[in-house]
Amino acid sequence: MYIQANQDGQLQTSDKIYVAGHSGLVGSAIVRYLEARGYKNLLLRTHKELDLTEQSEVQSFFNKEKPDYVIIAAAKVGGIHANNTFPADFIYKNMMIEANIINSSYENDVKRLLFLGSTCIYPREVAQPMREDALLTGVLEPTNEPYALAKIAGIKLCESYNRQYATDFRSVMPTSLYGMNDNFHPENSHVIPALMQRFHKAKCNNDSEVVVWGTGNAMREFLYVDDMAEAAIFVLSLSREIYDKNTQTMLSHINIGTGVDVTTRELAETIQEVVGYEGSLIFDTDKPDGAPRKLIDTSRLSQMGWSFKTDLKSGLQTTYDWYLKAL
């Protein structure tokens, strides 16, 4: 639908597209999107087949395969506990992954590259909704600072290669994502899979109540991952002229989100309804809410012609259906 002619030649279904991190939440959604539109020449490698932190392995892969387009959805990810426990791993491994792929893409004349980051790149105390130009204007959230710094470095790698070598390397920063292939680990999953699992277990056990941390008043934004995949390919497919017109040389990343937020109470109640749990919902107000609001400004992307399609309830229903099949 959005795959279109670009300045360097048309993106063809026969083009070699390397999707790094194809088995994760983000990468698998991008692969689904491309395969559904007839893209059959996708380059996919597991971590066992290709260690992206090893420069020599990445160079050998690129020298052999010569991809036309590259999408970096590979990253070492984790929750607050993991980030605090293994900060060196988070900064080192993520910087090695992006540096190796970006440099090999340049050396092998990749037509276009897309780097996927995270909205944790923005300062902890930042005006809402978060605009792209808030980058590097304040102190980062300490709990995931190493990960955020690595993602900022990825943006700046793309921009620096573009400036020095006239490459066409682009960056997008998705808001909080959810959907098929999400991490439902009981200890380190994000809020939607954690709540979904909690409500499901309460339903199965006939528990009388489910406790949710906080007041329920904190505002959060969530994007269904298949919408994110569509937006990512939309940005990758933009002509160089349109991309350059809507970005700046040293402020080139683009937010991807809905521009709509909900309270954590509304989120919990919607998940409760989707799961079909009929017990009571209790908010533990002694537990912290975190930031009062986290919402990104999506005007840059919407001005270029993209907006999200999947409302929260529909996306949660699809995710829960997938979760039940995966049990």
Q: Which amino acid would we find at residue 53?
A: T
Q: What is the pTM of this model?
A: 0.94
Query: Which H or E run includes 173?
Result: strand 169-174
Q: Is residue 148 part of a domain?
A: yes
| Count: domains in the chain | 1
Partners of 181 in beta bridges:
none
Q: How far apart are CA 305 and CA 10, in angstroms?
A: 19
- What pLDDT is attached to residue 233? 96
Let me know: does 5 contact 239? Beta carbons within 8 Å: yes
Q: Which amino acid would we find at residue 101?
A: I
Q: Is residue 150 part of a domain?
A: yes
Is 178 a catalytic site residue? no
Q: Is residue 200 part of a domain?
A: no
Structure tokens at 125: 């105390």
Q: Is residue 66 part of a domain?
A: yes
Q: How far apart are CA 222 and CA 176, in angstroms?
A: 5
- What pLDDT is attached to residue 6? 43
Q: Is residue 144 part of a domain?
A: yes
Q: In the chain, which residues have pLDDT < 70?
A: 1-10
Let me know: does 279 contact 142? Beta carbons within 8 Å: no
Q: Is residue 80 part of a domain?
A: yes
Q: Does residue 129 have a cis bond before it (omega within 30 degrees)?
A: yes
- What pLDDT is attached to residue 2? 31
- Catalytic entry in 147, 178, 277, 320: 147
Partners of 212 in beta bridges:
283
Q: Is residue 198 part of a domain?
A: no
Q: Is residue 196 part of a domain?
A: no
Task: Note down the domain range covering 104.
Answer: 17-178+222-259+295-309
| Cα 289–chain centre separation | 23
The CA-atom distances, in angstroms, between 182 and each of 89, 136, 143, 260 are 21, 29, 21, 21
CATH of the domain at 45: 3.40.50.720
Sequence-ordered list of residues with C-beta below 8 angstroms from that of 265, at least 6 positions apart, any chain: 216, 217, 283
- What pLDDT is attached to residue 3? 37
- What pLDDT is attached to residue 10? 61
- What pLDDT is attached to residue 189? 81
